[in-house]
Amino acid sequence: MKHLTTEWPLLKELEEQLVRTLQKVFAVLLAALLEEIDQQLAEARDKRRYQLKDKRPTTIQTLFGEVTFRRNYYYDRQTGNYTFLLDAELGFDGARSISPCLEETAVELAVECSSYRKAARTLESIVGMRS
């Protein structure tokens, strides 16, 4: 069998590059989706109760890596508290800066792996970032 002389990466390298590229694409898509949902919530909210104060950027760690997006910040006239309707609607605490799915994966790895160090390395290899 004749071998080609072109320099192609190994299949493992191709897979790794593709996974990282797809993670970046998915991170951008997730940010756009979150901002779209937030916009829909802004339009459908009870405007007498929730007064829009401003839009605030946030970054959360996800299985796709870091996802940065902007979300609306409201004053709740009924309770006197400030809130992000997006967080409440999607059931996550944006102040924690970690997605529920990534958190669950990290906890599972911590329980299943023989050490926290191994769990951290495994999570890093999955997500492609330092823990």
In a domain, 111, yes or no: no
In a domain, 121, yes or no: no
Count Cβ neighbours within 10 Å for each residue of 56-79 and write b for 16 or more, e otherwise. eebebbbbbbebebebbebeeeee
Residue 131's pLDDT is what? 41
In a domain, 130, yes or no: no
61-96 residue pLDDT tens: 999 999 999 999 999 999 999 999 999 999 988 888
52-69 residue pLDDT tens: 999 999 999 999 999 999
10-41 residue pLDDT tens: 999 999 899 999 999 999 999 999 999 999 99
pTM of the predicted structure, to 2 decimals: 0.83
In a domain, 110, yes or no: no
Q: Are 86 and 45 in contact (CB under 8 A)?
A: no
Range of the domain at 50: 11-97
In a domain, 58, yes or no: yes
DSSP 69: E
Residue 121's pLDDT is what? 86
Q: Are 119 and 106 in contact (CB under 8 A)?
A: yes
Q: What's the whole-number average pLDDT of the chain?
A: 90
Q: Are 42 and 72 in contact (CB under 8 A)?
A: yes
In a domain, 107, yes or no: no
In a domain, 115, yes or no: no
Number of domains in the chain: 1
